[in-house]
Amino acid sequence: MNQDLVIQRFTPPLKLANFRLAAFDMDSTLISIECIDEIAAVAGKKEAVAAITEAAMRGEITDFKESLRRRLALLKGVPASALDQVLRERLQFNPGARELCAALKAAGLKLVLVSGGFTFFTRFVAAELGMDYVRSNELEIIDGKLTGALMMQAWGDICDGEEKRRMLVQCAAEIGATPEQCIAVGDGANDLPMMGAAGLSVAFHAKPKVREQAMVAINAGGLEQLLQVLR
């Protein structure tokens, strides 16, 4: 068996024509970094922030909102220019991200970006990949510095696992699709609610807890391997 691409809960191939929407996590899924960790790195605080990120993604800290607030508090006072530096110097797309998104769009699927990360980065990623819907968190910046807080948006302030699930279901309903006609791709524990709602769940280089619960696990190589499953 190809351990790079593990099919766990159905008999392939599935028909791409059966799906109408694909929802993606951003950090460590579509892109190779965790943006909050890299902002912390620019500020010299990566070790403390990354430790909380890792525990949250493994599911050891079960309250994602609390884990994010703890990390943000450590970034209070960091210059907003750190965001530009991360985007310019550190953000890279994961292998196959562009190819997979282009193929799904060509097949008529709508694409959704749902991230516990920040709008500063999701705007760029969404534009590059042609996303149709985006939900993420808005950093509060005052006098050119991060305050350690988030801005309230129409739907709330923190896009956690439950908000990711709601967004997938809401976007599906908007285009007249069912959750069973959706694909959800992620790597961390906060992706499990949307992955559980979708007709096809895909773990990409994921934490063990996420790999175990996904229908398809891509453990090595690029995202484009999903196209081997969808015919």
Average pLDDT over residues 147-157: 97
- What does the pLDDT look like over 107-145, one tens digit per residue? 999 999 999 999 999 999 999 999 999 999 999 999 999
The pLDDT assigned to 2 comes to: 66
Cβ-based neighbours of 81, under 8 Å, separated by 6 or more: 144
- Pick the catalytic residue from 4, 27, 63, 191: 27
Instruction: Enter the tokens of residue 108.
Output: 């008529």
Question: In the annotation, is 27 catalytic?
Answer: yes
- What does the pLDDT look like over 167-178, one tens digit per residue? 999 999 999 999
Work out the pLDDT band at 12, boundaries 50, 70, 90.
low
DSSP state letters, 157-201: S---HHHHHHHHHHHHHHTT--GGGEEEEESSGGGHHHHHHSSEE
Question: In what order do the strands lie in the sheet containing 5-7?
Answer: 5-7, 216-218, 200-204, 182-186, 21-24, 110-118, 133-137
- Pick the catalytic residue from 4, 25, 63, 187: 25
User: Whole-model pTM?
Assistant: 0.95
Instruction: Enter the tokens of residue 60.
Output: 């050891």
Q: Is the pLDDT score of 165 beyond 50?
A: yes
Strands 216-218 and 5-7: antiparallel
CATH class of this structure's domain 5-32+93-228: alpha beta
Rounded Cα distance, 88 and 42, in Å: 12
- What does the pLDDT look like over 55-86, one tens digit per residue? 988 889 889 999 999 999 999 999 999 999 99
Name the region of 112 (left: φ>0; alpha: ψ -120 to 50; beta: rest).
Answer: beta
Percent of the chain topping pLDDT 90: 90
The pLDDT assigned to 113 comes to: 98
The pLDDT assigned to 1 comes to: 46
- What does the pLDDT look like over 188-213, one tens digit per residue? 999 999 999 999 999 999 999 999 99
Rounded Cα distance, 25 and 113, in Å: 6
